[in-house]
Amino acid sequence: RHFHPLANVPGPFLESLTELHRFYYNFVKSGTHSLQLERYREKYGPVIRIAPNEVLLNDPEHYETIYSANTKFYKDPTLYSTTGPDTSIFAMTHNEDHRLYRAVLNPFFSRRSVLGQEYIVQRKTDKLLARLDADSDRGKPTEIGMGFCAISVDVILECSFGAEACWNMLDREDFGVWYNDVIRSSASIMWLLRFASFLRPVMYGMPHWLARLVYPVSAGIMDAAKVITSYVKRVVSDIDAGLVPKRKTIFHTVMDPEVTSSGDFDKSIVTVPHMVDEAVVLIGAGAETVGNAMTVCTWRALLDPEIYKTLRAELVAAFPDPTQPVDFLTLEKLPYLSAVVKESLRLSYGVMHPLPRTVVNMCSFLMHRDPSLFPYSDKFDPQRWLNPDAQLVAGREKCLVPFSKGNRSCIGQPLAMCELYVVLGRRFRKSDDLVLVDVRPEDMLYQDYFGAMHPRGQVRGYARESWAWLEGAERQWEAEWKARPVSSLQVTRSAA
Ligand code: HEM
């Protein structure tokens, strides 16, 4: 231990010897290691040894060096080989390969491209708002937290493959909650595989029938990949048959040989397996992240009448006629709404887990809760971003990293921002009668499942029914939904 290159880095003794501690808190105690990290920061300061070969940094100055466009640091394979398909831009570890792959998708996630897709976000928002009204008319609370996750999944599916392939989570009574369970459970497997890497070939090599028996969720993930493979293959056959969809989707464009041959990227990497990997990641990456930010906003605004009132007043002034379209370009210029969105991203963290770049990690959970920049950091306070002290606000902006930064920052950021502004702006413009129903503060805590997830009761059996309704999935054994406690934000419109 004394001769290790990190021997002089302060940190708890046990963590310098073994990863057992992290495994225990994340796998056994449901993603709670981040709370330990916060304690370590108080005790050891800004540089901490958090595992035998890992250091956690907390100084925002370091962020722009480690997470930069031309960084030499690359994603740590011990974690990222467990997070998703190897040839997706998300899991790829080497920066040089990643650059080639990201170039394929970049054009579809530019701001310009997202503005062209705003109509999809608006249409899905119509559905969510109509559902809220319909539930309230029936005297039934709406699981709006789940609805917020559902909207993001529906939007990216429609952008990726077209309306026919959209899972229409928003139309389902439970907003397709099983999908969040699949993501959560696969993240839980990640904690296991990160610690016990020898299990990886066993888990990934298991035949489908055995996976169903041993761990139903892994069968659910396999079914997801199968369904998505069928979408990608359909795109190829559409292109071969000369069928052009009314509106070109991401994958209809990227797989079109004419585009591929003229594109500014290596066309040999546009293959069916690679495109399946990218689609799996795109569909998974937006759900909880976007959903959590909307949930935090709605929960906190409904808890604090002053925030609700100020937000609504700004929206009514910007859109005085209730029938006029509430558009993203106008919404994003509103200062109070923008401060609310920032506070929502700050307290939903994006990816809660430290983002390991070989030996170094930095973590939005700690940066967003830095007491020197965000006093009473748990308080949802939009005024933090409207403070007249420009230097103070600039320091806070530097510490706000929900999308990370640099070459591996979130490709979906422009789309996510459009979703956040449109859904929240339209909902809070609509009426001032939204109220919370039976929300316990403990339901709104976050656990670290790489992304941030709300606590849940033990979940069983969902993968058996989850994909049965999707074309391309194998028939599942049974379609029984098992009742279980769900922590989600419930709201309704007050009768008054
Ligand atoms: C509020 C919403 C979102 C937040 C806070 C967020 C946050 C993040 C963060 C922190 C990363 C870096 C992860 C790492 O370094 O391991 C990331 C990467 C990524 N995100 Fe997001 N995300 C959001 C929404 C979305 C959406 C809507 C999509 C897809 C449409 C998406 C797709 C991706 C992809 C593909 C990557 C990998 C990028 C790469 O390595 O090149 N995200 N996101």
By alpha-carbon position, which residue is closest to atom 28 of ligand 1?
412
The pLDDT score that the predictor gives to residue 180 is 78
Q: Judge whether residue 465 has pLDDT over 50.
A: no
User: What pLDDT score does 443 carry?
Assistant: 78
Q: State which ligand 1 atom lies nearest to the alpha carbon of 109.
A: 30
- The alpha carbon of 59 and the centre of ligand 1 are apart by a number of angstroms equal to 22
> What is the rounded average pLDDT of the residues 472-489?
44
Cα of 416 vs centre of ligand 1, distance in Å, is: 9
Q: Which atom of ligand 1 is nearest to the CA of 293?
A: 1
Q: At 385, list the tokens.
A: 């971003």
Which protein residue's CA is at the shortest distance from atom 31 of ligand 1? 412
Instruction: Report the nearest atom of ligand 1 relative to the CA of 402.
Output: 5
Which residue has its alpha carbon closest to ligand 1 atom 14?
A: 355
Size of the chain, expressed as the number of residues it contains: 496
What pLDDT is attached to residue 217?
A: 65
Beta bridge partners of 49: 55
Give the residue, 26 or 258, on which the prediction is more confident: 26
Across the range 206-219, mean pLDDT stands at 72
- Looking at every residue in the chain, the average pLDDT score rounds to 87
ipTM of the complex: 0.99
pLDDT number for residue 482: 40
Closest residue by Cα to atom 11, ligand 1, is: 410
In the predicted structure, residue 341 carries a pLDDT above the cut 50: yes
CA-proximal residue: ligand 1, atom 10 (nearest): 403
Locate the ligand 1 atom nearest the alpha carbon of residue 348 and give its number. Answer: 5
- pLDDT of res. 197: 84
User: Ligand 1: distance of its center to the CA of 89 in Å?
Assistant: 10
For residue 85, pLDDT over 80 is answered with no
Going from the Cα of 358 to the center of ligand 1, the distance in angstroms, rounded, reads: 19
- Across 348-353, average pLDDT: 95
- As a whole number of angstroms, the distance between CA 308 and CA 302 comes to 6
Q: Whose CA is nearest to atom 5 of ligand 1?
A: 350
Segment 160-177, tens digit of pLDDT: 999 988 999 999 988 887
Ligand 1 centroid to Cα of residue 5, in Å, is 33
* Distance between Cα 411 and ligand 1 center (Å): 6
Atom in ligand 1 nearest the alpha carbon of residue 282: 29
Give start and end residues of each alpha helix (H) in 92-215: 95-105, 111-137, 144-161, 177-195, 200-205, 208-214
Question: Does residue 478 register a pLDDT over 70?
Answer: no
Mutate to test the pocket of ligand 1, among 281, 410, 413 (most ligand atoms within 8 A of CB): 410
Compute the distance from residue 399 Cα to the ligand 1 centre, in Å. 17
Q: Using CA positions, which residue lies closest to atom 20 of ligand 1?
A: 410
Distance in angstroms (rounded) separating the CA atoms of residues 72 and 408 = 12
Q: Nearest 5 degrees, angle CA 202-CA 206-CA 208?
A: 160
Query: Which residue's CA is the closest to the ligand 1 atom numbered 3?
Result: 289
Work out the pLDDT band at 488, boundaries 50, 70, 90: confident
For the CA of 83, the nearest atom of ligand 1: 16
Q: How confident is the model at residue 496 (pLDDT cuts 50, 70, 90)?
A: low
Q: Between the CA of residue 193 and those of 224, 226, 310, 353, what are the distances in Å?
A: 20, 23, 47, 16
- Give the per-residue pLDDT at 371: 92
Q: Which pLDDT does position 287 carry in this prediction? A: 86
CA of 452 from ligand 1 middle (Å) equals: 13
- Measured by CA distance, the residue closest to atom 24 of ligand 1 is 286
Q: Residue 476 Cα, ligand 1 centroid: separation in angstroms?
A: 31
Q: Which atom of ligand 1 is nearest to 292's Cα?
A: 1
The pocket around ligand 1, CB under 6 angstroms, is made up of: 89-90, 102, 152, 156, 281-282, 285-286, 289-290, 293, 350-351, 355, 402-404, 408, 410-412, 415-416
- Comparing 111-115, 200-204, 389-393, 425-429, which segment has the lowest mean pLDDT? 200-204
Q: Give the separation between CA 266 and CA 271, rounded to whole angstroms.
A: 11
Per-residue pLDDT at 152 exceeds 50: yes
**Could you tell me if 203 and 174 are in contact, meaning their C-beta atoms sit under 8 angstroms apart?**
no
Distance 410 CA to ligand 1 centre (A): 4
Q: Which atom of ligand 1 is nearest to the CA of 101?
A: 41
Tokens (6 digits) for 150: 């559902």
**Residue 72 CB: number of other CB atoms within 10 A?**
10
Would you call 49 exposed, middle or buried from its count of C-beta atoms within 10 A (0-12, 13-18, 19+)? Answer: buried
pLDDT tens for 401-447 read 999 999 999 999 999 999 999 999 999 999 999 999 878 777 788 88
Is 149 annotated as ligand-binding?
Answer: no
**What pTM does this model have?**
0.93
Q: What is the pLDDT of residue 216?
A: 66
Report how many helices (DSSP H) and strands (DSSP E) the chain contains, helices first: 22, 9
Average pLDDT over residues 268-284: 90
Residue 351 has pLDDT above 60, yes or no: yes
Per the model's pLDDT, the better-predicted residue between 446 and 315 turns out to be: 315
C-alpha angle with apex 287: 448 to 24, nearest 5 degrees?
Answer: 15
